[in-house]
């Protein structure tokens, strides 16, 4: 459906859990319990019911996120149901990759169309310092398996912080295979507010100095806001998601469903609708659809992170709670 600014909203990011098996410094507090209780997150039946309504409204592409979605049991079942019962055209997954190798075959069999694997450094010590885990080799195994699987799109997501030139170029080298590598500007949400990081222009300069001319890719790739360039001799593309330095709100086509059932039309703002309470309170499908339509229609024109100190202007939750 179209929102009030005539943007076609056809893509939803559904967080299935706020739990994670890593503790990345820019995403999650380093100490203390911070997860929702099990009865506070949507069941698969509730997700599927809402997804059916989203599909009626023209949303056809789903990205499953967390937390870490693969720590939730039976993820393949949800993927299958989203396609078979709801008619979603494309279902993809964002994962830290730790559990990907052991679950990948089941996910593909269920109908997974693509996987985005988060990897911010290929350096073992740097990975340990960032994530609190020694799971880098498991992630690399998952990437290798996914890249060899026909029919599944594979993308590597790197959140820009202050990685070294060597780390960033090593990540870029993954694109020599059929993997798109995307550099993502850190959003000033939660722990990310405290970080001062690299921007797209820094990466463009580094890549140009190293590889020569970067050729812009003109066709649309995927459902999200990334724009891409090509490097001679690379099978994959290099992408950029730069919400701060290259605002893409005018073409935003997405909404977010948090694991607790809260529907967010924009990442920055706390506005939205609590669909879980409506669902469990006995709302009819027509009532749910009406509230969803209203929330999508009222999607803000753009984020304004420069005004984040104003009351109500900035989401106070962290990214693992909202859904990456």
| Whole-number pLDDT of residue 186 | 86
Please report the beta strands in 151-200, taking only residues with DSSP state E, as ranges in sequence order: 153-160, 180-185
Residue 234's pLDDT band (cuts 50, 70, 90): very high
Q: Residue 243's pLDDT is what?
A: 75
In this predicted structure, which of 118-122, 239-243, 295-299 has the lowest mean pLDDT? 239-243
Helices (H), 57-98: 75-84
pLDDT at 121 over 60: yes
Count the domains in the chain. 1
User: Is residue 77 in some structural domain?
Assistant: yes
The mean pLDDT of 41-66, rounded to a whole number, is 98
Separation between Cα atoms, residue 223 and residue 10, nearest integer Å? 9
Distance CA 223, CA 114 (A): 11
Look at residue 71 and tell me whether its pLDDT is greater than 80. yes
pLDDT given at position 159 = 93
Using a pLDDT cut of 90, give the percent of the chain over it.
Answer: 74
How large is the C-alpha radius of gyration of the chain? 19
What CATH number is associated with residue 194?
A: 3.20.20.70
Domain containing 79 equals: 11-322
| CA 187/CA 236 separation, integer angstroms | 25
Q: How confident is the model at residue 28 (pLDDT cuts 50, 70, 90)?
A: confident
Residue with tokens 């279902």: 91
pLDDT class of 26 with cuts at 50, 70, 90: confident
In a domain, 187, yes or no: yes
> What pLDDT score does 192 carry?
44
DSSP state of 37: P
Report, as an integer, the average pLDDT of 275-304: 95
Q: How confident is the model at residue 308 (pLDDT cuts 50, 70, 90)?
A: low
Tell me: the pLDDT tens digits for 169-220? 999 999 999 999 999 988 766 544 455 688 999 999 999 999 999 999 988 8
Counting every residue written for the chain, the total comes to 324
Predicted confidence at residue 269, as pLDDT, reads 83
Give the DSSP letter string of 195-215.
-----HHHHHHHHHHHH-PPE
Residue 164 lies in a domain: yes
The answer to whether residue 111 is domain-embedded is yes
* DSSP single-letter state for residue 68: -
Instruction: Note whether residue 216 is domain-resident.
Output: yes
Asked if residue 297 is part of any domain, the answer here is: yes
Average pLDDT of the residues of the chain: 91
pLDDT of residue 311: 43
Of all residues in the chain, the percent with pLDDT exceeding 70 is: 90
More confident residue, 313 or 64: 64
Confidence of residue 34 (pLDDT cuts 50, 70, 90): confident
Q: Which long-range CB contacts under 8 A does 198-207 form with residues at least 24 apart?
A: 198/160, 198/161, 198/162, 198/163, 199/160, 199/242, 199/244, 199/245, 200/240, 200/242, 200/245, 200/246, 201/245, 202/160, 203/160, 203/168, 203/240, 204/240, 206/165, 206/168, 206/169, 207/172, 207/231, 207/238
**Higher model confidence: residue 283 or residue 247?**
283
321 versus 205: which is more confidently predicted? 205
Alpha-carbon distance of 199 to 86, in angstroms, equals 38
Please report which confidence band the pLDDT of residue 11 belongs to, taking 50, 70 and 90 as the band edges.
very high
Mean per-residue pLDDT, 270-283: 96
Give the pLDDT mean for 1-28: 93
In the predicted structure, residue 301 carries a pLDDT above the cut 60: yes
Q: How far apart are CA 242 and CA 187, in angstroms?
A: 9
2 lies in a domain? no
CA distance 36 to 65: 15
Does residue 261 lie within any of the structural domains? Answer: yes
């Amino acid at each position: 459906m179209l929102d009030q600014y005539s943007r076609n909203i056809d893509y939803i990011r559904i967080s299935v859990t706020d739990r994670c098996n890593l503790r990345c410094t820019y995403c999650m507090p380093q100490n203390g319990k911070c997860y929702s209780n099990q009865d506070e997150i949507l069941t698969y039946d509730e997700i599927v019911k809402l997804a059916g309504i989203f599909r009626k409204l023209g949303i056809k592409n789903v990205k499953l996120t967390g937390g870490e979605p693969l720590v939730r049991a039976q993820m393949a079942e949800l993927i299958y149901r989203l396609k078979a019962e709801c008619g979603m055209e494309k279902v993809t997954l964002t994962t830290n990759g730790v559990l990907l190798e052991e679950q990948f075959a089941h996910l593909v069999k269920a109908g997974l169309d693509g996987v985005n694997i988060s990897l911010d450094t290929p350096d073992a010590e740097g990975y340990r310092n960032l994530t609190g885990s020694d799971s880098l080799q498991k992630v690399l195994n998952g990437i290798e398996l996914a890249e060899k699987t026909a029919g599944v799109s594979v993308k590597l997501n790197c959140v820009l912080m202050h990685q070294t030139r060597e780390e960033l170029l090593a990540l870029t080298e993954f694109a020599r295979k059929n993997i798109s590598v995307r550099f993502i500007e850190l959003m000033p949400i939660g722990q990310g507010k405290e970080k001062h990081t690299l921007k797209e222009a820094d990466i463009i300069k580094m890549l140009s100095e190293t590889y020569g001319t970067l050729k812009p890719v003109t066709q649309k790739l995927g459902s999200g806001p990334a724009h891409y360039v090509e490097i001679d001799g690379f099978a994959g593309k290099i992408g950029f998601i730069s919400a701060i330095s290259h605002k893409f709100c005018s073409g935003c086509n997405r909404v977010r469903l948090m694991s607790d059932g809260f529907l967010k039309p924009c990442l920055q703002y706390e506005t939205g609708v609590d669909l879980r309470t409506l669902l469990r309170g006995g709302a009819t499908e027509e009532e749910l659809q009406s509230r969803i339509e209203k929330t999508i229609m009222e999607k803000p024109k753009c984020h304004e992170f420069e005004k984040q100190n104003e009351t109500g202007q900035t989401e106070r939750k962290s990214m693992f709670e909202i859904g990456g």
